[in-house]
Amino acid sequence: MPASSVPMTKYLISFPARAMQVPADEMPAVAAASRAVIIEAKAAGVYVFGGGIDETMAPVMVAGDGAVSDKLYPGSHLNGGFTILELPSRAEALAWAQKIAASCRCAQEVREFMYDPIC
């Protein structure tokens, strides 16, 4: 890495589906505000990936031998929306989470991915 480069960390900013309690008639405004934040993140060059879990598709577990099962790890449950941003600091991750929380009208959880030198 060049000496002038700032190490970047990937952050997961997410919320469970139950957290988003928005009246149906306000959803178009929430969607527009959320898209505006994502457009801003893309323009800033920090956006990696984002989306929502499709709850109409049941999750499965795939074993090392290729066996597929509908039995998941105990307590495992993932739904809602998430965004992955690559940022130079936790403070910036919290600032982006605040923007996302305001646009989605629900609090966001922030998690940091561990450093991987090959990614």
Tens-digit pLDDT string for the chain (119 aa): 444 466 799 999 999 999 999 999 999 999 999 999 999 999 999 999 999 999 999 999 999 999 999 999 999 889 999 999 999 999 999 999 999 999 999 999 999 999 877 76
What is the model's pLDDT at position 5? 66
CA distances from 74 to 15, 26, 50, 77, 118 (A): 20, 36, 26, 9, 31
Select from 40, 51, 17 the least CA-distant residue to 92. Answer: 40
Q: Do 37 and 100 meet the contact criterion of CB atoms below 8 Å apart?
A: yes
Upper half-sphere CA count for residue 60 (Cβ side, 13 Å): 7
> Does residue 55 sit in helix, strand or coil?
coil
Q: What stretches of 61-112 adopt beta strand conformation (E)?
A: 61-62, 68-69, 81-87, 109-112
Alpha carbons 28 and 89: distance in angstroms, whole number: 32
- Determine the pLDDT at residue 3: 43
pLDDT at residue number 109:
97
Strand, helix or coil at 93?
helix
pLDDT score for 117: 75
Question: Which pLDDT score, from 0 to 100, does residue 15 have?
Answer: 96
